[in-house]
Homo-oligomer: A and B are copies of this chain.
Amino acid sequence: MMLRLLGSSLRYRTGNSLGRCVASVPQARSKSTLADIEASKVQLDLISNRKPRPDPATLSFGKVFTDHMLVIPWKASTGWGTPKIEPYGSFPIEPSASVFHYAACLFEGLKAYRHDNGQISLFRPDMNMKRMNISAQRVALPTFNGDELLELIKQLVRLDKDWIPNRPGYSLYIRPTLIASQPAIGIAPASEALMFVICSPAGPYYPDGFKPVALYGTTEYTRAAPGGIGSFKVGANYAPALVAQKEAAKHGYVQNLWLHGPEHYVTEVGTMNAFAVFRRPKGDIELATPALDGIILPGITRDSVLGIARDHVSGKAKLAGLPDDLVVSERPITMLEVKEAAKAGNLLEFFGTGTAAVISPVDKIGYLGDDIAIPTGPDGMGPISRPIWQQLTGIHNGAIPHPWSVIISE
């Protein structure tokens, strides 16, 4: 048995939408003598000449990496090896390594933010650790103790925290990755694997204010199908999706909107989750997103948008700007519904959510040859997403203290 069970010390908040996906993940540790990740065993090999920091003004996403990276090897026979924080750089790998042939790879994406008071925080990193373990099980890579990996990520970020540009809207993008590395081309579960975490300084997604995007409704290609991998953050979802992006660009749109099945269900916006805001017949307003039915990625920003809206509705945490009678739904949304609501003036907003953009407003959807126009305010946002975005970014930058913001450096 190659797959290892989740460590019992891996504990997560419940009651959120990611929690629903975890039914198949065993919660108890198996009687195993294989080593798990242990943060206390970390070996440090620190860089002697720190690299020059890039100019924030010309920073392009994901091309510059910080001084250090975290690397942890795994073998089926012995478990997780010694974690090492070492200079960022190439490593040698055999051309027969499984990852090159069979896409045995997965990743996470999260950000470290610098607060005005100098503190550094991560946003809900426990959610990334949990999702990463769920992804690992799906593609036969090893699971691990998420608390211990998170401890090591914190240590890495603390070491390289001065890479976070000291400007509003900037952050450090953190990329944990897990690959099958055994030099063997038989198709089999990972027998050797490599976990690494690299970090890249990131600028604001919209440096000059929100710029709504035009989407192309993709009916030629499928992102995911029931019984497939659409709800897992594994590499195999991404390269095959590039053709749809290229097709959208060919037709003059910025991004694609994945539509599913003959009903053309709205599923995702490029690599983001999709939200629509409808005015309902009674006059109340509904914030709707597709349910986590197996083909939708359980996005952490998605979950946070839903959480903020639901806390407002329940009265747990009222948010100024949101209507008192807001309705929050996870349900199927068809393009027919979107089209008819837009025609009747009842489609108030359409937006994507993700770690990179947080909220990405949409002003047009090309669908079967027609363009559906979607209203946006003078600032590019809509009436529901605006206060939610302000709340989320306030939590990110420390202006709004919140348990989702995990302070890792004073």
Bound-state CA distance A183–B271 (Å) is 20
Chain B contacts for A104, CB-based, 8 A: 238-239
Tell me which of B185, B188, B221, B234 contacts A227 (CB under 8 A).
B221
Interface residues of A in 175-201 (CB under 8 A from B): 175, 177, 179-180, 183-189, 196, 198, 200
Q: Point out which of A65, A103, A200, A239 has the most chain B C-beta atoms below 10 A from its C-beta.
A: A239
**Cβ–Cβ contact B220 & A240, under 8 A:** no
Chain B contacts for A246, CB-based, 8 A: 3, 140, 189
Instruction: Give how many copies assemble into the complex.
Output: 2
**Cβ–Cβ contact A235 & B102, under 8 A:** yes
A394 at the interface (CB under 8 A from B): no
A90 at the interface (CB under 8 A from B): yes
Q: Per-residue CB proximity of A53-73 to B under 8 Å, as 1/0?
A: 000000011110100010000
Tell me which of B62, B91, B100, B229 contacts A185 (CB under 8 A).
B62
**Cβ–Cβ contact B69 & A103, under 8 A:** no
A395 at the interface (CB under 8 A from B): no
A207 at the interface (CB under 8 A from B): no
Which residue of B is nearest A188, CB measured? Answer: B242
**Cβ–Cβ contact B240 & A229, under 8 A:** yes
Tell me which of B93, B179, B239 contacts A234 (CB under 8 A).
B239
**Cβ–Cβ contact A62 & B184, under 8 A:** yes
A226 at the interface (CB under 8 A from B): yes
Bound-state CA distance A132–B75 (Å) is 32
A243 at the interface (CB under 8 A from B): yes
**Cβ–Cβ contact B105 & A100, under 8 A:** yes
A11 at the interface (CB under 8 A from B): no
Interface residues of A in 84-114 (CB under 8 A from B): 88-96, 98-105, 107
With A93-B93, A101-B175 known as contacts, the answer to whether A138 contacts B189 (CB < 8 A) is no
**Cβ–Cβ contact B107 & A95, under 8 A:** no
A225 at the interface (CB under 8 A from B): yes
With A189-B242, A238-B102 known as contacts, the answer to whether A91 contacts B92 (CB < 8 A) is yes
Chain B contacts for A62, CB-based, 8 A: 96, 184-186
**Cβ–Cβ contact A243 & B103, under 8 A:** no
Q: What distance in Å separates the Cβ of A125 from its nearest Cβ neighbour in chain B?
A: 18
Bound-state CA distance A271–B242 (Å) is 24
A sample of 20 more A-B contacts (CB under 8 A), given A139-B240, A220-B227, is: A63-B183, A63-B186, A90-B94, A95-B196, A99-B105, A100-B235, A101-B238, A103-B103, A103-B235, A103-B240, A138-B240, A138-B243, A139-B239, A140-B246, A173-B185, A175-B185, A189-B242, A221-B228, A236-B236, A236-B240
A-B contact list, 19 entries, CB within 8 Å: A62-B186, A63-B186, A90-B94, A98-B239, A101-B238, A102-B238, A103-B238, A139-B240, A139-B243, A180-B239, A185-B198, A185-B200, A220-B227, A221-B227, A221-B228, A222-B225, A222-B227, A224-B225, A225-B225
